[in-house]
Structure 1
């Protein structure tokens, strides 16, 4: 979310450090994580780096390029569609390497099949077991919309780290009706996520099962009643899944 400038309440900062200054990276993580009466500035997650938790915290630009050229898994390459260089002398090299990695992967004739398989793994590993409540990992949820957009970006070489802006840039690749619905419904689900997280003060991404709590959430999203809100939730997810199915399984 940080790469796409789409951070929401309680989001981690997914960071990769490319260069040669290990101490600077370590100091940044420490500074962001120091507890205060207001909490921490941000929780840093650096596990997306080459080799994951087993790899070094900081990679040279040469090691970064070699990893994504030769050994990275598809999910790691897919994540680079949202990678944004923030600071440092290697920003343009980083941008070019990231783009080369995902644009090459986008030529794989089995790209959509592989990304669809990843989505099902995510759903099995991270879902709560109640798909109706899982508006992030469930059918027609946030992640399904993001995987759809990223697959289309990779296939059609659409450079944009923001999912919401990438949807707009898909105009001409997918129908204007699908663009409009994806844009509207994705924004709705992200707003739902933000309101829910602020209410719970956690990184929750599943709806409460209690109808009374759902009603409070609906009011927090400025709906007049729970039923209208629930209908919008169901419509958003149904439309997202229909569009996903159209491009992945047609």
Structure 2
């Protein structure tokens, strides 16, 4: 690194300053998430957040350097809503991974702003809650029999599917929320698949349709990953010729 280059800093490595006022980083992050949930990323500014906290922007800058750091902290905080990963064992990896996937989808749907932001947060800025989740996933894939390197690819494939479909689903639900009607009413008026019916001609719950579609895609992802292992999902991954 050139002697005059500035070192890369991160909100996770910078020590917190001694508290000199009632406002804390935790309060700032909580208010940030509330604002993001209510109005979206575009509405977030240091000035607007300061007004919400009845504090000046200067007070916020004592805890975070800029708006980007606020979002990094908020992203990691919502990762803290996910349950700790269960202990990794070879025979239960698929069940455990499915639970993490379902929990992650639910979190993205609760916080519709978070999906697009996950692609913006680089590895340097990953916080402890996100590390806990990703480390737990890696442990599950290693226990299943994936070696180091392939376990990371397996976890990446799973996360890409879950975050991708949940982000699309969250955008769809946000559109409906802005319309002021229910999902069933919106589908009846707009969707080519509106008024989807069950096997006996009965109209189905659109939320259940979304749940089933997510579960179907998740099962196919896990089927593909399990096929890399010996029969039964145990043993070493099968060779790919590469």
Alignment TM class, shorter chain as reference: 0.3 to 0.5
> By percentage of residues, which structure has more helix?
2
Normalising by structure 2, we get a TM-score of 0.33
Normalising by structure 1, we get a TM-score of 0.32
